[in-house]
Amino acid sequence: MLSRAFTKPKRSFKEYGENSRSGSISEYDDCIVGFIDDLPLIPCENNGPSLSLKEVLRTSVSVMGENARGLTEKVVLSNARLCTLKRFRKVIVRKSEFGRRVEKLAQVCNNCDYLVPITAYLYAKRIKLVVSDYYPMGSLADLLSGGRRGQTALNWNERVIIIESIARAISFIHGQSPETVKNMKMNVHGNIKSSNIMINIDLTARLSDYGFVQLADCVEDCDTKEKRATTHNIYCENLSQQSDVFNFGMVLLDMLAGVQDLSYMDCIVKLEESIKQGDIPFFEFHMKGKERKQALKVLEIALACTSSLPETRPSIHQILFDLTHLLKTSK
């Protein structure tokens, strides 16, 4: 079994909230802890841990990810429990609405084995955060990039387990009823991408950040603008089920062949038959026989998901049916 832990060292980060300042995370935390009273986090579970703002800030040990919406940190609590802390740059709702939305999202997440549970949250004047479970295997993006750098790469069977887990997570979200609760869409994820797919030790996957796009807006500083200019955003940011399906298709293409550029899409479609015949190398891992047939079927699903016409994309329920049928008939 694979054993990986992907974290990044702490680095400079601009403060989230109304009053911006530059400095390291530790400097920012000292400022927060020194100038405001300690605040209790609001638990999202009946028997959830009792946490305080000072505890989660002081026990932050590394930055796992950063984007225009917020910062994700690894937190080691005093009882040795590991958690993930998400700090938002610019929350778009007021305090009471923020709490109501987080609790509703937590209720959905905590009832699905394929979504990352939300355990607590806090809305204070200078900081807004959500605490969720931590996964030492890291994200799918970590595992894929690690394999491409020479570390142990995921084999096809491991990728299949992850693919099915992601599809089940999206299917659970898209099946939510009622679809909308007080102006919040409950049946859309809104930000499906490989860095938001967390991996369990048994290689099953859990989808994180469900509904977070309805909590906070994106804020770009000079660093994030520079990164955006030098990288391609392959994911669709529209809040709709069709966009969720598109993003799932892009995750599949990344898992199949490392496709991370939309400019390759037309080329893949034109060469699909040649890929099926084996005339053109496409997959980034070796396989043959049953595994290759499975991978080709997943490629078909990925191309259907990434159709330029949203109305022609399959529903996630149809995708999950096809994946389940594929796995059953190939055993």
Q: pLDDT (tens digit, 0 to 9) for every residue of the chain, 331 residues total?
A: 333 333 334 444 444 333 333 333 444 444 454 445 689 999 997 656 688 999 999 998 889 888 889 999 999 988 888 999 999 999 999 999 999 999 999 999 999 999 999 999 999 989 999 999 999 899 999 999 988 888 888 999 999 999 999 999 999 999 999 999 999 999 999 999 999 999 999 999 999 999 999 999 988 765 555 555 444 567 887 899 999 999 999 999 999 998 878 878 888 988 889 988 888 889 988 888 889 999 999 999 999 999 999 999 999 999 999 998 887 765 5
- Helix (H) and strand (E) counts for the chain? 11, 12
In the block, which residue shows the tokens 């939510």? 176
The two three-digit tokens of residue 66, written as one number = 């950063």
Q: How far, in Å, are 43, 50, 74, 188, 204 from residue 36 at the CA level?
A: 21, 19, 23, 36, 41
Q: How far is CA 276 from CA 240, 272, 283, 302, in A?
A: 31, 6, 11, 14
Contact of 209 with 196, CB cutoff 8 Å: yes
Residue 130's DSSP bridge partners are 86, 121
Nearest to 205 by CA among 110, 113, 131: 113
Question: Which pTM does this prediction carry?
Answer: 0.85
- Domains of the chain, earliest start first: 35-133 (3.30.200.20), 138-224+231-329 (1.10.510.10)
As a whole number of angstroms, the distance between CA 80 and CA 208 comes to 22
